[in-house]
Chain A
Amino acid sequence: MTDEPAKGASRRTFLKGSAALGAGALAASAAGAEGADPLITEVQDWASSFGDAVDASPYGMPIRFESHVVRRNVEWLTESPVSSINFTPIHALEGTITPQGCAFERHHSGAIELSKADYRLMINGLVDTPLVFTFEDLMRFPRATVTAFLECAANGGMEWGGAQLEGCQFTQGMIHNMEYVGVPLRYLLEEAGVQAEGKWIYAEGADASSNGRSIPMEKALDDVMVAFFANGEALRKEHGYPVRLVVPGWEGNMWVKWVRRIGVYDQAVESREETSKYTDLMPDGRARKWTWVMDAKSVITSPSPQAPVRHGKGPLVITGLAWSGNGKIAKVDVSLDGGRNWQEARITGEAKSKALTRFHLDIDWDGSELLLQSRATDETGYVQPTKDALRAIRGLNNVYHNNGIQTWWLKSDGEVENVEVA
């Protein structure tokens, strides 16, 4: 190399200079036949003086170098930021558990502040005894746990018409996955005594939007949970503190936050959020309603547009997420050539039912262009379709439930684009 640092020049100056040469040159220098690395040979401050004391941060935040790992919003998507969406930085995360502080939000009238003292839950309608519970009451019921993904019905909805947003945070990031603890809704319904005509529940929140949704009694008695804890601690304000519904496998809209009332009815309410919204227009001008389940889906989170390959040729980790509202992920296939040929990836960790599942495929990248895709298969045998296969049935105006296969164009310079192929 010709730009070897002059004696006395800092390592930082040297690295900044060589970065301009491109990823290949930098990789070569870091691999280092250029002499001893001063980060090793010189005593660094952190190896000599003190770090922060244990009383510096009673509740810590990520180190500043991770400041890119935050929620992002896209202003033009909605007319008001209090009835809007933001996106989980899935491009930068690993494993399956979403840190609550950067787990996406979707509100219809903002994130309200509701204390445990002010919290009330009512169960009424076709029950023997309509009941009111305080938060303290709820904490005395036997508890259960479930780890589940919450995916917004609109996740990827902007991509129905073509490749639009640049980065899996934006195209697949209306999702989070947490370990919940709470009370099965069944226990609360049993306490009130559901009458025989009670075929539906209607759950609504304490916020101004209410977000009321109808859920068939069968699901309500199966695995719906009234949750207080997520990833070990109380729910975040923006995720429904102090109580939300957890509805495993079903569209995020139904996970009613700040839930204040469960009404039992003989029919669906057909509320705004299940008529005007969360209904899926089809080519014949009619629309599907009650499309509750989120189908099998996956995305490669790195490489991706926000996670370019900067290290040059050679070993490359392909990592991604797969999930299905219809059960466990059975396998994930990865293609490097836009879907012509596939190889089975590795499930890293456990494939839990209706929960995010991590997959990896390790390749030796020769620097050529790739068209990366992932394809999830769940335990029912359902194979994640292409976008074109979905459009052939549903047209372009479904708005919701886009689980089509994502393609990333990895270019020879390591940059990655959101594309469609045909």
Chain B
Amino acid sequence: GSGGFRKRKHDNFPHGQRREEKENVNPSSPLMTSFKSFQLELDSRHDKYERLVKLSRDITIESKRTIFLLHRFTSAPNGEEILNESEVKLDAVRRKIKQVAQELIGEDMYQFHRAISPGLQEYVEAVSFQYFIKTRSLISVEEINKQLIFTAEDREETTNKTSDSHEKQPHTWSLKVTPVDYLLGVADLTGELMRLCISSVGNGDIDTPFELSQFLRQIYDGFTFIGNTGPYEVSKKLYTLKQSLAKVENACYTLKVRGSEIPKHMLADVFSTKTELIDQDEGLP
């Protein structure tokens, strides 16, 4: 049958000729020369991408730690200290972002956007959380970008990394957080604010939840205003945002209703049971 034929065909294949043909490929033909240059180009592009992914991961981790630190703010008496510490941490994150900006000198940022986007979103989340704790308002995307303009003053890093290839570049770099990264970061922020709300009740703070519900409602209204103008990821976050808002609103409701009946010192107990419930169905780490 045809199977046997195929097999025979394979056995009879003139291997000698085949090998000869492969050797016939002249390693210095125009085609091979151009493919060698393609190899260089692709390799350097992939290397850069990998470096950016690594930086992005570092940025994510440091930003997450900053957020954890800031959650301690409400419960601790030494608020000033924690804020200062978070500022130090965020400065470290910004130094990483500076490295990202240096990698992107002369490149089209969007070519590597997928590598750095997760880190930038996490940074937006951390920075806006800190800003909220300090000022009780939402940081604007312009404000964030203002902090991401770097100059070559601190030489220790710039010399070893960029001197070889970018010697004559202007000595300021900037990185712009795109509107979409900003929106996704802010959407994540609302989750943190929800946690902040619940834990502040636990600490017997009755005012913060109401303030937060007001603030979250503004953000929610903002997101509904954008609606489906934005990309798919933004609309996906809208669902989680709605859940966070509902939790905060319910918390406020309970405070209002029960608060008039229960003595203040017992409120925390009422809420701690409530908190467990919320944590359970959220399933967050």
A binds B: no
